[in-house]
Every structure is written in structure tokens, then in C-alpha cells.
Amino acid sequence: MNDFGLLMIDFQRDFCARGGYSDLCGGLDWVLPILPNAVRLLEAAREAGAFIVHTREGYAPDLSDCPPVRVERSRKAGGEYGSQGPLGRLMIRGEYGHDFVDELQPLPGETVLDKNTYGAFAKSHLETLLKENGVRRLAIAGVTADVCVHTTLREAADRGFDCYYVRDAISTFDPEIRRACEMMVNQEGGIWGQLVTVEEIVSLWRAAR
């Protein structure tokens, strides 16, 4: 069991809470149903002794580390990065909305990785951190399926990790895109990893104890 890691991708208020970026861009119907599954997954990972990493996407207050094209696209989506929202300035590090939702807050000793990229491995020490802690198998959950989750999944697969895509703890705005993301994981014998549910990965962890 000590070779398993869990990546909790961007369970932030800006993506998962009322008044955040996602809510302003179209609502939260796509993400609220998976939060109890994510809680179950995280609790089970803690019980099993998995190495846990929580990621947050966010940018400097002056947006100096955010590509201008990304700001422009966020404006078109309805939630311009850096603009004032009910939870503070959208997607800005240190704002209330940038932090994790209450039910998925990290515990002391769990790693928090702040990133200004979609993928969690790009421009970070994540690969080294996982390997130094003996991680070979990696369960991945989070938002959004087609952006930060799939980017991170592909980065992890390219680095040789055996990935588990926890389908009922991952979502995105469009249900068709969510299904397409799941289908891509299974292509060519599971080119990006294995498609699992929370209960399936929990059962695997229990059996490995």
C-alpha cells in the first residue's frame, strides 16, 4: 500500500463553491454531486496510508504569472481572472476563493502544491516528491476533467506512474466532455491508466493492507 499516492486536483472554492469562478461561469450542478465521493476517497486514502497531494490553481495578485490569453479567455467565459467576486478576486492566490472547500481541507502533514499551470507536474517538484515518497501508483481525482485533471493524468503517465482515474470523483461542466475524458483513459488497453470508481479504489486499498 505504501506505493500508492492520491492527487486531489483543485478542489477549491473558486471551482466548487457558490460565488466562485465556476459558479459565475455557469453554475455548480456539474461539481456538487461529486464532492461527497471526493470526501469518501480522501478519508479512505488517509486510512490506507496513501501519500496525499492537494493542488490549487491560482495566480499572483498582479497576474504577472498568468498568460494574458488565459485572462482573456476567462473573461469570455464569464469570470475574468483577477476580477472581484463574492469570494474575493477570482483565481488569485491568498483569496478566500482560492483555498480548498471546507470538507476537503488538507490535514497537517499533507502536501499542498500551488500551481499556475493546468498540469500539476509542469514547473513543479511533484515528480521528485512522489518518487522520494515511494509512489508508483497514483489515484487522481478533481476538477475539471478536461483541463487540469487530464493534463495532470497525461503528465503522470509520461513519467511512468500507474494511474487510476477515479471517475465518480472527477467532473467538468459538460457531461458529454466528461464521458469523452473517461473514454480516452481506456483507449489502447488503458493508455492513460485505469478507470475506477471510489469504491473500487477503496476496495483495492483495503485488499493491499
Show which residues are catalytic. Answer: 10, 115, 148
DSSP assignment letter at 105: P
Return phi, psi of residue 84, to 5°: -80, 130
Residue 184's alpha-carbon distances to 81, 144, 160, 161, in angstroms, are 29, 15, 18, 17
Assign 85 to helix, strand or coil: strand
Residue 104's alpha-carbon distances to 100, 141, 191, in angstroms, are 6, 12, 29
Pick from 122, 132, 138, 128: nearest CA to 196: 138
